[in-house]
Amino acid sequence: MIRRPRRRLARFPMAYISADVPLVNMARDLDRLQELCPQLVVAKTMLAGHFNTIEVADQVNAMLDRFLAVGLGRSKA
C-alpha cells in the first residue's frame, strides 16, 4: 500500500468534548486528529461516563459556551 501525504482534514473551528474514561481514551487517536486539524479544541468532562451530556450537562454547556465565545476566534488568527 502506498501512503500519500495527507492534507489537513478541515479548516473550520472544531470542538471535541468527551468523558474522561481511560479505556475509551486509549482507543481514540486524538493526537492524529489534532495533527490533521490543528484548530481542534479537546475538552473532557469530569465525574461522568458515556452519557456526559445528561450526567454533567452544566459542564458540557459551559464548554460549548466557551468554545463559541473564544474557540471560534482562534481559527481567524
Average pLDDT over residues 15-34: 81
The answer to pTM > 0.85 is no
Is the pLDDT at 10 greater than 80? The verdict is no
Q: What is the distance between the alpha carbons of residues 26 and 56, in angstroms, rounded to a whole number?
A: 22
Higher pLDDT: 43 or 20? It is 43
Q: How confident is the model at residue 54 (pLDDT cuts 50, 70, 90)?
A: very high
Q: What is the distance between the alpha carbons of residues 62 and 41, in angstroms, rounded to a whole number?
A: 14
